[in-house]
Amino acid sequence: MIKSNFSVTINAPIEKVWEKLIDITNWASWHPTVSNINLNETTIRSGTAFSYNYQKTKLKADVLEVVPFRLFNFKSTAKGDTGINTCSIL
């Protein structure tokens, strides 16, 4: 399993940050290495599946946990490797 950690400070209300974070279909508008997002559901919840390209790699993803305005956790898989992505709002 691949694991990495980083943090960023965003000078915006929590509600605005959360809105951008869970708007998966528009990640490419603020994340320059993300493209080709496919999501067939309108509600983001545990079990929601989606796919996206990160740089030039196609990833399949599943939402693991959502705690509104606090936590968005998803698993991404590509070429046999799996990574857990945890986005926490503090």
Stronger pLDDT, 1 or 23, i.e. the higher one: 23
Residue 2's pLDDT is what? 66
Q: How far is CA 13 from CA 7, 10, 66, 81, in A?
A: 17, 9, 19, 35
CB 39 within 8 A of CB 25: yes
Read off the pTM. 0.89
Task: State phi, psi for 18 to the nearest 5 degrees.
Answer: -60, -45
pLDDT tens, residue by residue, 9-28: 999 999 999 999 999 999 99
Helix H or strand E segment including 59: strand 57-67
